[in-house]
Amino acid sequence: MIQKASEEGLWEKKTKKYTKNNVLHIACKKGNLGLVKSLINCNKEAKDNNGYTPLIYASIL
């Protein structure tokens, strides 16, 4: 299911417009390694409203 969502660009859906987080941002924030591994081929350079990429959140944990 994640592969299909990734192929269709659904992973790019953002949360509330003021946060601009996508699924990869949230997976990194929550420490969900399995989901991060599934989504890592998506746009890992996507930035949230603070200019942070998912990698920044992953490194904070």
pLDDT in tens, 7-26: 555 555 555 666 777 777 88
pLDDT digits (tens, 9 = 90+) for 34-60: 888 877 777 778 888 888 888 888 888
The CA distance from 29 to 8, in Å, is 23
The fourth-level CATH superfamily of domain 2-60 is Ankyrin repeat-containing domain (1.25.40.20)
Predicted local confidence at residue 11, as pLDDT: 54
The pTM score is: 0.55
Whether the Cβ atoms of residue 21 and residue 13 lie closer than 8 Å to each other: no
pLDDT, mean over the chain: 74
Q: In degrees to the nearest 10, what's the CA dihedral of 39, 29, 14, 6?
A: 10
CA 16 to chain centre: 14
Q: What type of residue is 35?
A: L
In the chain, count of helices (H) and strands (E)? 4, 0
